[in-house]
Each structure stands twice: as C-alpha cells, then as structure tokens.
Amino acid sequence: MTPDDAIKADEEIYRAVKRSFPSCIDEINHKVKSALFKDNNGVSVDRQGNRTRAESQQAMRAYFQQRLKAIALLYGKDINQANVKPFSAPTTGNLFHVELFADANKGPITQLQALQLADAAELIEWHDEVDWIVS
C-alpha cells in the first residue's frame, strides 16, 4: 500500500477521540457525536492500510499517549456513503494519516456528512483511566 492508494470499501478508518473533546461522545450510550467529524481544516483519521487492527490501534495509542480517550472505527464504505473526500496526508511518522473533507475543494465537512459519519462510527476502544479535560 502506498499513501495515495484508494481507500477500499472494507478498509478500516480510525478516528482518535482526545481527552480534550468530551462534547464528541455520548458517554451514556457510548456513541460518537457528529462533533467528532467537524473541523474546518479537515478531519484527521488513520487508514488501516496493510496493518492489522491491533497494529493500527497501537500506533494511535503510541502517538496520542495519555491524550487518547477512545478510538472510533469507520469503514471506507462509510466515508463513501457520506460523500466525504479523503486526502492522503502522510507525515514523517505516519504514512497512514488521511484528512477528510466535504468535497474535492477541501471544504469543511457539512453537518449532514458529520451526522452520517457519527451514525456509522463504532467505538472500539475506551480508556476509563483517562479523564476528560474540560477548560
């Protein structure tokens, strides 16, 4: 896999939930809220690529360390169904980094798209020991 390969429908996509964003999670129902997918500068996710789920999750844990509250899972088909456009954005330490936008012009994800992504997302990892930081 190269960073520019198309994301396949069954490829896993991971979104970190940082401890500084408690408004992104419905803790009672353990569900993702649309706020997790709203960012004017693109929504950062990691694609699975040629890694296992365990390897992908470990890479996120290593990067975010104590800032990681949870990991949400989507699939390539979910971003396609929401009509969201992925742009490869590899970094020196992470070839699997992708930014999601509303369209090919890199517009911010719309509220409807964010709701569709939130409905499709599943929390696959949760860290009770990491406290929310509320300012």
Look up residue 47 and give its two tokens.
């694609």
pLDDT in tens, 51-73: 999 999 999 999 999 999 999 99
Q: In this structure, which amino acid lies at residue 120?
A: A
pLDDT in tens, 9-44: 999 999 999 999 889 999 888 899 999 999 999 999
Output the pTM of the full model.
0.93
Angle (CA) 33-27-47 rounded to 5° is 50
Q: Is 101 exposed, middle or buried (0-12, 13-18, 19+ CB in 10 A)?
A: buried
With contact defined as beta carbons under 8 Å apart, do 72 and 124 qualify?
yes
